[in-house]
Structure 1
Amino acid sequence: MDRLKEKVSLITGAGSGIGRAAARLMSAQGALVAVADRDQSAVQETARLIDAAGGRSLAMTVDVMDEDSVADMVSATIREFGRLDVLCNHVGGTNPRVDLDLLRLDMAEFDRAVALNVRSTLLGSRYALPHMIQAGGGSIINTASVAGLVGDVLQISYGAVKAAVINLTKSIAVQYGPYRVRCNAVAPGAVVTPALLANLPQDVVDDLRRTNALPYLGSPEDIGHTMVFLASDESRYLTGQLLVVDGGMTIQSPAAPGRRTMLPPGG
């Protein structure tokens, strides 16, 4: 229970879903946790859950697309805990109702997606890095997506910006590795979060489950455990990497699920 003992973690998008799960799991492993989200009541609930379990937290509201807000978030973390060891740039996403195919894409949504996913990751890292360097090292964990690895019929912005997050991760790792700062990314597949359930029809969710190599979809905790590993010293020799946590969604031929019916009985 002490994999992150006395480490200070800052997690954006911690008001629900994966961000909340990561915050609670890191606290359970001994971290002091700063949690940030644009939804004040949601992030305060995350902090309450951490504190009720015996942890120590700091709840903040943040607009990750605003540079001053990001700078204030990092400064508040340093004031409260005195250092910063782990940063999870978790905020991201697009509006799937207007992030469509190329000809029908709302260009304002594309610009917002760049700011929400790429610029926010860059800003969070930019303001955290000096403190990590001063502390003798640290771990930056960026949330990408399997959407950044494959093409799709919808959400062209989301795929493009998550691909950019993957490349940004590699560049940060190369540039600041000499200072013992590691930077890695996690690419979740289909994870049962409030956002997924709100944005996808049930038949699409069922299809995602069918096309996984594993017979189930992920939970927020599945991604949170991966983030704990990347935050801990267990991953001290891992940097610039993308960990794809998708239940096998992207490893198999599109024909594989249907071809299972061709197997003889009892296989």
Structure 2
Amino acid sequence: MNRLEGKNVVITGAASGIGRAAAGLMAAEGAKVLVADLDASHAEEAAASIRESGGIAVGFGVNVMDEDAVAAMIDRAVAEFGGIDVLCNHVGGSNPRKDLDLLRMDLDEWDRVMALNARSTVVASRLAIPHMIKAGGGSIVNTASVGGLIGDSLQSAYGAAKAAVIRLTQYIAVQYGPENIRCNAVAPGAIMTPALVDNIPADVIEGMKQANALPYLGEPEDIAHAMVYLASDESRYMSGQTLVVDGGLTSKSPLATGRSSMLS
């Protein structure tokens, strides 16, 4: 406990799933948390839940594709907490019905996904970094994806956008490391969020499980714990890195299952 004592945290996409789990865990570890989400009512609900558990949290509605709205989010955090020590650029995603393979992909969706995942990370970081410099340093935690590390048959824009987040993480780390600002990313694999459970057929979820090295899929808290580590001083000598939390998905050869049958 208290691994984030005295830290002021801003986290986007924090009203549900991984973001909500991370906001709750960070508050439980002593941080003051601005819970930001497109859905202002759900953001306030998540913040209220944290407060009921004894934590300090403020809900805030924000469209991360609107630079003025992001600026208002940063200003609110500074006004409430006195500064920003940790920025978690967690919001992201794509519409899988439009984000298809290259020939069938909706190009407007490409632009939207790049703005939602990559540009929003640039904008929020640009606005938060001056406050971190003033405070003597800070930590930026970006949410990438294994989709930014390996190819897939669909969601071309999402994969490209998350690859951009991974590379941007390194650039921020190099450019602002001298100001004692660290920047790292976490790359989740398949996680049992409400969005996945509600929108992905059971047989596809089972296929995701079979693709892992571990015999199960992750829970939101599995990624939240990684985010807490990257936000905390426990990772003080870690910067420019992408922490892959994927149940061994990207480590597993597609031949592994068939080859293991040779031993039986």
Judge which range, 15-24 or 43-52, deviates more: 43-52
Match of 1:172 in 2: 172
Equivalent-residue separation in structure 1 for 2:255 and 2:97 (angstroms): 28
Q: Conserved in 1, the CA contact under 8 Å of 2:41 and 2:61?
A: no
Instruction: Establish whether residue 231 from structure 1 lines up as the match of residue 262 from structure 2.
Output: no
Aligned-pair distance for 1:199? 3.2
Matches within 5 A, 1:117-136: 117-136=117-136
Equivalent-residue separation in structure 2 for 1:262 and 1:87 (angstroms): 48
Q: Conserved in 2, the CA contact under 8 Å of 1:210 and 1:257?
A: no
Instruction: Establish whether residue 183 from structure 1 lines up as the match of residue 174 from structure 2.
Output: no
Instruction: Establish whether residue 161 from structure 1 lines up as the match of residue 161 from structure 2.
Output: yes
Match of 1:70 in 2: 70
Aligned-pair distance for 1:81? 0.4
Match of 1:37 in 2: 37
Runs of 4 or more, structure 1, over 4 Å off, are: none
Matches within 5 A, 1:17-36: 17-36=17-36
Equivalent-residue separation in structure 2 for 1:194 and 1:39 (angstroms): 16
Counterpart residue identity of residue 197, structure 2: L
Q: Conserved in 2, the CA contact under 8 Å of 1:99 and 1:156?
A: yes
Q: Conserved in 2, the CA contact under 8 Å of 1:191 and 1:218?
A: yes
Match of 1:83 in 2: 83
Deviations 1:14-40 (A, max 9, x none): 010000000000011000111100112
Equivalent-residue separation in structure 2 for 1:187 and 1:96 (angstroms): 19
Task: Give the TM-score normalised by the residue count of structure 2.
Answer: 0.98
Match of 2:13 in 1: 13
Question: Unmatched 5+ residue regions in structure 1?
Answer: none
Counterpart residue identity of residue 234, structure 1: E
Aligned-pair distance for 1:263? 2.5
Counterpart residue identity of residue 66, structure 1: D
Counterpart residue identity of residue 57, structure 2: S
Deviations 1:104-131 (A, max 9, x none): 0000100000100001000110100000
Equivalent-residue separation in structure 2 for 1:172 and 1:36 (angstroms): 22
Identity of aligned residues (%): 64
Q: Conserved in 2, the CA contact under 8 Å of 1:170 and 1:184?
A: yes
Equivalent-residue separation in structure 1 for 2:221 and 2:259 (angstroms): 31
Counterpart residue identity of residue 251, structure 1: S
Task: Give the TM-score normalised by the residue count of structure 1.
Answer: 0.97
Aligned-pair distance for 1:258? 3.2
Question: Unmatched 5+ residue regions in structure 2?
Answer: none
- Aligned pairs, number: 264
